[in-house]
A = this chain, B = another copy of it.
Amino acid sequence: MSKKELFTPAWTEEAPRKGTYRSIFKWGDPAGFKHPNRRFYALMKDVFQMTDADFAQRQEEGNETVRSEQPIQLSDEQIRTFREMVGEENVETDDYARVRYTAGKTMEEAMKLRKGIVENPADVVVHPRNKEDVQRIVAYCGEQRIPIYPYGGGSSVTFGFHCTQGGVSLVMSTHMNRVVEFNETNQTITVEPGILGPAYEEMLNNAPQVFKAKRKYTGGHFPQSFEYSSVGGWISALGSGQQSSYYGDMYDIVLSQEYVTPAGSFRTFDYPGTATGPKVNDIMKGSEGAYGVLVGATLKLFRFMPENRQRFSYLFPTWEAAVDAAREISQGEFGMPAVFRISDPEETDVGLKLYGIEGTVLDKFIRLRGYKPMERCLYIGSTEGEKGFSKNVAKNVRRVCKAYGAMSLTGYPARRWEHGRYTDPYMREDLNDYGIMIDTLESGVTWDNLHHLHQGVRKFIKARPRTVCMTHASHFYPQGTNLYFIFLARMNDVEEYMAFQADIIDQIEKHGGSLSHHHGVGKMLAPWMEKHLGPMQMDVLRALKRHFDPHNVMNPGGTLGLDLPPNP
């Protein structure tokens, strides 16, 4: 290779300066980075028709100090009341805090913050110390008609807690991140909602030391946002972890919840099974802070047995074969793998680049065996559970994969994927720095509609010149799965991006996918809700909204489409 070909863009390597826009929109650890590798960089240049020169200068980095033009809409008296309720130190009104605790991780926000555009900051940021604080705040805001936006880890990609109408950003993760009760008999833990993934998982893995427990446990929930999302956010937005095919979605993992709502406070039951009418515990899940504030949750625990884990990867000749095998695995009743992920041909090709397989001797061998680029599909997975169970799952996976023409790639790609499972989002800033947009949309789907949805959405995205569209399915059920679309294009105009995104959402809806599989709805997908659910189902959600929050102070301004005008 010549020296010229070895050009590497000056990917950012410094933590953002404090107080800047960049410090808000940057993903994760301020000092954490993961840059595109050489093969991915080459791919981008190729697909986007860019040259090294296009990567010479970073653009709109958002290194300016945050300023908001928007005046605080609350009165001094109201702000003073909050200070009296929770203590001086737990109330912030400076521009930085107001913007920081309003901003999530949507592409739209990143694009706008890079340009110094601030929309709808909170009027005040309040850090409640306990549920009594939350009760006082909710009661007062109800009286005063002040909007409340519960904020957990800050990782929403749907404007979940965006302070559309100003008001209070209620930060649950500052203080309300404690353990209330660890119950080894029931295999449950009760926590406050503000606890983030790593703290939650670490104490469970170390339960013998932390709780004097007999065993080690796991929460079983590992979304990509794991390191920067909270238990409360997982529940409120109905998250699914990367091992959900075994452990279940957050919907399944939550045994009971405690809420403070404008209509009053309550805790649901811990019974694992009941027949006492519609389950209020389930009614509250996914309510995205629009019915009340989640102040406590009891979650099911699982035994931490990584020593039993089996990892595997297979390459299928076609997407159809990969889907058929995944369906057989999901319906075969031999137990579900935990990580379970099939990539379509375009994602497979990028994946083989990222995992360092493309272009190697192994790759040549694979191609010779008939697994061709832009046809072949990667499946990676791993198992959990008791040793014999885990082995039996892996054994049956192998049987099914062979039956559908797959070749084993060993556990190596699965390990590589595991290694990067939480760090891929770090690449977004690098791409954005050079005007490349990367975003995702995802959808739940039944088996019989999978190809229709995949082809429909992909066809639309690929109709745009020089646009990458990678798709995988990564959460499996006997009746279907999800499709996760990742799209990249050279694009940094906000309006252009929003129109493109809206069109993709239209395509998902039109092709019969659910509006969201595990990102939630927030205010981003809200305009599609009425059409998607239909007026009858929307009316049910609205009836509950009126019941819990008659004055619409809980996460108002679009959440779940509850307070949007009905579609024409």
Interface residues of chain A, those whose CB is within 8 Å of chain B, are: 183, 185-188, 237-240, 249, 251, 255, 263-266, 268-280, 282-288, 300, 302-303, 305, 327, 331-335, 384-386, 388-389, 392, 395-396, 444-448, 475, 477-482, 514-521, 525, 529, 532-537, 539-541, 543-544, 546-547, 560
Please measure, in the bound complex, the distance between the C-alpha atom of A95 and the C-alpha atom of B560, giving whole angstroms.
Answer: 51
Bound complex: CA A445 to CA B186 (Å): 10
Q: Is the beta-carbon distance between A333 and B385 smaller than 8 angstroms?
A: yes
Q: Which residues of B contact A303 (CB under 8 A)?
A: 331-333
Contact of A388 (CB < 8 Å), options: B277, B334, B386, B475: B334
Q: Which residues of B sit under 8 angstroms from A237, Cβ to Cβ?
A: 275
CA distance A535 to B547 in the complex (A): 13
Q: Is the CB of A386 within 8 A of B272?
A: no
A-B pairs with beta carbons under 8 Å apart, 9 shown: A186-B480, A272-B479, A276-B529, A277-B287, A282-B282, A303-B331, A388-B395, A388-B396, A543-B543
Bound complex: CA of A239 vs CA of B332, how far in Å?
Answer: 25
Write out the residue numbers on chain B whose beta carbons fall within 8 Å of the beta carbon of A517: 271, 273-275
CB neighbours of A535 from chain B (8 A): 264
B273 and A536 contact, CB distance less than 8 A: no
Q: In the complex, A475 Cα to B447 Cα: how many Å?
A: 30
- The residues of B that contact A516 with a CB separation of less than 8 Å are 274-276
Chain B residue at smallest Cβ distance from A528: B276
Please tell me if the beta carbons of B255 and A479 are within 8 angstroms of each other in the complex. yes
User: In the assembled complex, which residues on chain B have CB atoms less than 8 Å from the CB atom of A480?
Assistant: 186, 270-273
Closest chain B residue, CB of each to CB of A481: B272
Least distance between A218 CB and chain B CB atoms (Å)? 11
Q: How far is the CB of A73 from chain B (nearest CB, A)?
A: 28
Q: Which residues of B contact A188 (CB under 8 A)?
A: 479
CA gap between A416 and B495 in the complex, in Å = 71
Q: A320 → chain B, closest Cβ, in Å?
A: 13
Contact A273-B544, Cβ < 8 Å, known A448-B183, A480-B186: no
- Are B392 and A389 neighbours in the complex by a CB distance under 8 Å? yes
Number of chain copies forming the complex:
2
- Is A388 touching B384 in the complex (CB atoms < 8 A)? no
Closest Cβ of chain B: how far from A358's Cβ, in Å? Answer: 32
Report how far A444 CA is from B264 CA in the complex, Å: 26
In the complex, which residue of chain B has the Cβ closest to the Cβ of A282?
B282
Q: In the bound complex, how far is the Cα of B280 from the Cα of A532, in angstroms? A: 13
In the complex, which residues of chain B have a beta carbon less than 8 angstroms from the beta carbon of A287? 277-278
A188 to B449, CA, bound (A): 14
Most buried by B among A239, A270, A332, A445: A270
Say yes or no: A263 contacts B539, CB within 8 Å.
yes
Which of chain B's residues have a CB closer than 8 A to the CB of A519? 275
**Bound complex: CA A275 to CA B269 (Å):** 23
- Residues of the B chain whose Cβ atoms lie less than 8 Å from the Cβ of A286: 275-279
Distance in Å from the Cβ of A505 to the closest Cβ of chain B? Answer: 12
Q: For A532, give its contact among B276, B447, B448 (CB under 8 Å).
A: B276
Report the minimum CB–CB distance from A159 to chain B (whole Å): 14
Contact of A389 among B334, B478, B536, B541 (CB under 8 A): B334
- A514: B residues at CB distance < 8 A: 269, 271, 273-274, 276
How distant is A269 from chain B, measured CB to nearest CB, in Å?
Answer: 7
A249 partner residues in chain B, CB cutoff 8 A: 273
| Chain B residues within an 8 Å CB radius of A521 | 275-277
Closest chain B residue, CB of each to CB of A513: B271
Q: Are A447 and B537 in contact (CB under 8 A)?
A: no
Interfacial chain B residues near A280, Cβ < 8 Å: 533, 537, 540-541
For A274, the chain B residues whose CB sits under 8 A away are: 238, 444, 514-517
A272 to B475, CA, bound (A): 10
Most chain B CB within 10 A, of A273, A274, A520, is at A273
| A-B contacts besides A273-B482, A276-B529, 5 pairs, CB < 8 Å | A185-B447, A263-B536, A266-B536, A275-B517, A276-B515
Q: Which residues of B contact A520 (CB under 8 A)?
A: 275
For residue A525, which residue of chain B has the nearest CB? B276
Query: How far, in whole Å, are A560 and B444 apart by their CA atoms in the complex?
Result: 33
Q: Once bound together, how far apart are the Cα atoms of A334 and B303, in whole Å?
A: 11
Q: Report chain B residues within 8 Å CB of A187.
A: 331, 478-479
Q: Which residue of B lies closest to A281 (CB)?
A: B537
Contact in complex: B277, A529 (CB < 8 Å): yes
Nearest-CB distance from A235 to chain B (Å)? Answer: 11
Could you say which residues of chain B place their CB within 8 Å of the CB of A275?
A: 237-240, 286, 444, 516-521
Out of B264, B273, B283, which one reaches A283, CB within 8 Å? B283
A420–B270 alpha-carbon span in the complex (Å):
33
Q: Are A386 and B285 in contact (CB under 8 A)?
A: no
Contact B265 A536 (CB under 8 A): yes
8 cross-chain pairs, A with B, having the tightest CB-CB distances, nearest first: A266-B536, A272-B477, A238-B275, A543-B547, A334-B386, A271-B444, A272-B479, A333-B385
| Cross-chain contact A277 with B288 (CB below 8 angstroms) | yes
Determine whether the beta carbon of A278 is less than 8 Å from that of B283: yes
Nearest Cβ on chain B to A321's Cβ, whole angstroms: 15
Q: Quick one: closest B residue to A387, CB to CB?
A: B334
A279-B282 in contact (CB<8A): yes
